[in-house]
Structure 1
Amino acid sequence: MMAELAEIQCVLGLDVSCNTVTLFDSCTGRCLTIANEADALRTALQPYQGTATLAVCEATGGHEDTLLCVLLELAIPAHRADPAKVNAYIKSFGKRAKNDPIDARWLSRYGRDRAAMLLRWQPANPTQQKLELLVARRLDLVAMRVQEQNRLKAPRSSLIGESRDLTLRAKSLRSVPGIGPVLVPLLLAVMPELGTLNRRQVASLAGVAPHPKDSGKASWHRSTTGGRRQIRPALFIAALAACRGNSPIATAYKALLKAAKPKRVALTAIMRKIITIANARVRDALQQQKQIMPVPA
């Protein structure tokens, strides 16, 4: 339905934010800020019920929903404007100043100048709304997939294979139970020190070293804190995978449970064991490579 210009005597510009709505009345020049809540909006807009008024707001990703529902309840015609069109309208006047009252005034002017062409807002069918949201989300995911596929084609996407040293380290890491193709590049990028540390240092760096918590005669359970935050969550997944197999790591996990250790404590011990083994295997591989490499003449 079209709002006829002759019917409209007052245009309300409504600038919507997350918590507030700024209202500008074209007839009185009054500007006020209202809480973006149904009761507050209803109180502020009730005087316009039954009058020749058009309300104009912008689409704000859902923050305008409460306002539009109140306007519908009060039978006040409303138009939800496209922000791009409103911005183009404002730029046509060469104006750049921006705040909530100014934006509300421009929305009112936009509505007054184009009232005859603006469609009145009507609530969509709930099922239709859900469908629109799901389709929009799918389009976002498809766009993200295209971006990631483009990144994979970039020259730096296969750096491990281009480096003899990284290839050797990666091969050593993949030989450790639980460490898969996702954790390998993470360890290579975040823990380049692997192979050069002792077992205590590597456990501390990975955030799986137990630290004492004592004060005077009091002594509490040791806890694992610190380390590089990206590693611990990935090591946890690696520990879960390793505990399901028939490797010595899985046997060690079962032994810890049999010794009445809580699962959380047992898994932390397995995480520490995995990173310690990984460090040792990288170290051994690097030492073996040095022995094999020919001495320059």
Structure 2
Amino acid sequence: MMAEPAEIQSILGLDVSRDTVTLCDGRRHTVTVANEADALRAALQPYQGTTTLAVCEATGGYEDILLGVLLELAIPAHRADPAKVKAYIASFGKRAKNDPIDARWLSRYGCDRATTLPRWQPADPTQQKLELLVARRLDLVAMRVQEQNRLKAPRSRLIADNIRDHLAELERHIEALNAEIDTLIGESRDLALRAQQLRSVPGVGPVLAPLLLAVIPELGTLNRRQVASLAGVAPHPKDSGKANWHRSTTGGRRQIRPALFIAALAACRGDNPLAVAYKALLKPAKPKRVALTAIMRKIITIANARVRDAVRHQNEIGKINA
């Protein structure tokens, strides 16, 4: 049984690297152990059953062994956003950096925010695989664009055949990933239901639907402001005193906004309520980019609402059948 936020009395800061993990339990003393399950288990055993919260940073996967051991020992953990931790340290005007120093800062960060930090939970294996497949597809599509640009370069004639061969290979890999993603979604009842609801939204096609499922797994559990912010289409005020500047849409998960832009273009050219809304926005001489951003926001909020309603309905049917 993991400790509740109110019960946490001590914070364990853990700085993770590829080969080692440095621990700090709130005091100046730190200890460094190998980033291996047995070594971490031995180092963390004394904290099992105590009211301790472990705080580490997301490091692109190097923290997975540590989080697995913490889960095994039932020690609650928070995987921190490195940007937030960096901003926290910068707010004190500190610049020194090494593994023991970082571990101390993580411990202090946890002490200050323990009651508000969300606890890490292991990802569903199917969801995790979907995220990896979609991320790999994005990488290959970016490579394809790079190769297409190289092929158009004036001095590429001597290597054009090589570039075309690589493009053909990339196309084969992308098609294979598309098939694997479709199969994975089809084999999961929950993902299939969510994908079906997403595809019912104007502009959302076979590329954007899996992307939304992978990058915003919280879809259906958020309110319209939260989902717009995660998608990077929420207008943020920039006012000071009597100065009122145009609101800008920034932040969010960077993979979503470009795909939403394409979806908005497709929706605006079709025969659907979003196209009508787009034309209505243009009538008061609103810039096209502002109108398109509004349609992007409508797409993601409609998608969020439809997924939410479908999941609720499925859960209600499950309760009745039970």
- TM-score bin, normalised by smaller chain: 0.5 to 0.7
2:278 aligns to what SS in structure 1?
A: helix
1:185 pairs with one of 210, 215, 218:
210
Structure 1: distance between partners of 2:182 and 2:273: 34
2:214 aligned with 1:214: no
Letter in 2 for 1:238: A
What's the Cα RMSD here? 2.0
* Superposed displacement of residue 218, structure 1: 1.3
What is aligned with 1:277? 302
1:293 aligns to what SS in structure 2?
A: helix
Structure 1: distance between partners of 2:276 and 2:236: 26
Letter in 1 for 2:219: L
2:245 aligns to what SS in structure 1?
A: strand
* Superposed displacement of residue 132, structure 1: 3.6
2:274 pairs with one of 232, 246, 249:
249
Structure 1: distance between partners of 2:298 and 2:281: 13
Partner deviation per Cα, 1:64-102 (whole Å, 9 max, x = no partner): xxxxxxxxxxxxxxxxxxxxxxxxxxxxxxxxxxxxxxx
> How does the TM-score come out when normalised to structure 1?
0.53
Structure 1: distance between partners of 2:258 and 2:311: 27
Assess, with a 3 A threshold, how the Cα gap between structure 1 residues 165 and 153 changes in structure 2: closer, same or farther. Answer: closer
2:165 aligns to what SS in structure 1?
A: helix
2:290 aligned with 1:260: no
Structure 2: distance between partners of 1:151 and 1:178: 22
Assess, with a 3 A threshold, how the Cα gap between structure 1 residues 228 and 162 changes in structure 2: closer, same or farther. Answer: same
* Superposed displacement of residue 136, structure 1: 1.6
Assess, with a 3 A threshold, how the Cα gap between structure 1 residues 148 and 201 changes in structure 2: closer, same or farther. Answer: closer
Assess, with a 3 A threshold, how the Cα gap between structure 1 residues 287 and 133 changes in structure 2: closer, same or farther. Answer: same
Assess, with a 3 A threshold, how the Cα gap between structure 1 residues 294 and 178 changes in structure 2: closer, same or farther. Answer: same
* Superposed displacement of residue 214, structure 1: 0.8
2:188 aligned with 1:166: no
What is aligned with 1:135? 161
Letter in 2 for 1:251: V
* Superposed displacement of residue 294, structure 1: 4.3
Assess, with a 3 A threshold, how the Cα gap between structure 1 residues 271 and 135 changes in structure 2: closer, same or farther. Answer: same
Structure 1: distance between partners of 2:158 and 2:250: 45
Q: 1:34-73 residue pairs with structure 2 within 5 A? A: none
Structure 1: distance between partners of 2:239 and 2:301: 26
What is aligned with 1:203? 228
Structure 1: distance between partners of 2:203 and 2:234: 19
Assess, with a 3 A threshold, how the Cα gap between structure 1 residues 181 and 148 changes in structure 2: closer, same or farther. Answer: closer
Assess, with a 3 A threshold, how the Cα gap between structure 1 residues 234 and 132 changes in structure 2: closer, same or farther. Answer: same
Letter in 2 for 1:162: E
Larger Rg: 1
1:177 aligns to what SS in structure 2?
A: coil
Partner deviation per Cα, 1:17-75 (whole Å, 9 max, x = no partner): xxxxxxxxxxxxxxxxxxxxxxxxxxxxxxxxxxxxxxxxxxxxxxxxxxxxxxxxxxx
Q: Which runs of 5+ in 1 are unaligned?
A: 1-128
Assess, with a 3 A threshold, how the Cα gap between structure 1 residues 151 and 262 changes in structure 2: closer, same or farther. Answer: closer
What is aligned with 1:290? 315
> How does the TM-score come out when normalised to structure 2?
0.49
What is aligned with 1:96? none
What is aligned with 1:93? none
Structure 2: distance between partners of 1:259 and 1:228: 31
Aligned length in residues: 168
Q: Which runs of 5+ in 2 are unaligned?
A: 1-154
Assess, with a 3 A threshold, how the Cα gap between structure 1 residues 258 and 157 changes in structure 2: closer, same or farther. Answer: closer
Q: 1:33-112 residue pairs with structure 2 within 5 A? A: none
Structure 2: distance between partners of 1:218 and 1:130: 51
* Superposed displacement of residue 144, structure 1: 2.7
* Superposed displacement of residue 249, structure 1: 0.6
Letter in 2 for 1:167: A
What is aligned with 2:260? 235
1:144 pairs with one of 165, 170, 184:
170
1:167 aligns to what SS in structure 2?
A: helix
Structure 2: distance between partners of 1:251 and 1:135: 46
Structure 2: distance between partners of 1:151 and 1:247: 31
Letter in 2 for 1:185: P
2:253 aligned with 1:225: no
Assess, with a 3 A threshold, how the Cα gap between structure 1 residues 145 and 233 changes in structure 2: closer, same or farther. Answer: closer
Letter in 2 for 1:184: A
Structure 2: distance between partners of 1:223 and 1:229: 15
